[in-house]
Amino acid sequence: MLAATPFDPQYFSEVLCLRISDDLTEHGWSQQNFFLTEELTISLAAECHLLNDDGGMKLAGVGRGSGQTVRPTIRGDQIAWLKAGQSIACDRYLQIMENLRIALNRTLFLGLDEYESHFAFYAPGASYLKHLDRFRDDDSRIVSVVIYLNPEWLQEQGGALRLHPEGMATQDIVPLASRLVLFLSAQMLHEVLPATRDRLSIAGWFRRRP
């Protein structure tokens, strides 16, 4: 059994949710450390490694639908979408995000209907150039969420998530295990800098139903 986390309904922390909501309202992003238990983070990282080793991931595309193209110099991560029922760890993670979605709807009134997410694996040197997470022809993504799965990450290993908040200094966030970052998908320009080691994460989006 995996240990309980603060996001189990019976342990859910109203305080954490209010902190995230305040951050998003005030400057468009929020960073929360120690968001998942170490045990769950390790299980998710192991699953991401396994998918990568078994050829279960594919090079991510840029754009959407028939307009999607693979351009590794713009975006170099390998991805695998999470599906309900694929593993105990993924189900546990999806339940935590479902609880967070419901909690954010109570404090932010963003009308978040659903959550989609994928594992992302950046090999050394891979990056994702500056972009917005909202597609030109689809405004369903409201809040972007990234959880990092990399133990003992050092700043000099690169791989930061660089946020470009409007009218403010850029923010570099080190992709350290169990750290959660949220930002407004339509507004926050951001990029993934290349790293000297494998960089694992789950990137996801709270969406409004189109």
DSSP letters for 77-109: -EEEE--TTS-HHHHHHHHHHHHHHHHHHHHH-
Both tokens of 167, joined, read 């009218």
Identify the bridge partners of residue 173 per DSSP, sorted by sequence position. Answer: 161
Nearer to ligand OGA, 107 or 157 (CB): 157
Nearer to Mn ion, 44 or 163 (CB): 163
Identified binder of Mn ion from the candidate list 133, 163, 195, 202, rule CB under 5 A: 133
- Cα separation, 190 vs 103, whole angstroms: 25
CA neighbor of 80 nearest in space, from 57, 48, 62, 63: 57
Q: Interface with ligand OGA by CB under 6 A: which residues?
A: 120, 128, 133, 146, 161, 190, 192, 201, 203
Nearer to ligand OGA, 142 or 146 (CB): 146
Nearer to Mn ion, 47 or 133 (CB): 133
- Binding site partner of 161, from ligand OGA, Mn ion, none, Cβ cut-off 5-8 A by kind: ligand OGA
Three-state SS at 1 = coil
Q: Which stretch binds Mn ion (CB under 5 A): 103-111, 112-120, 125-133, 174-182?
A: 125-133
Would you tell me which residues interact with Mn ion (CB under 5 A)? 133
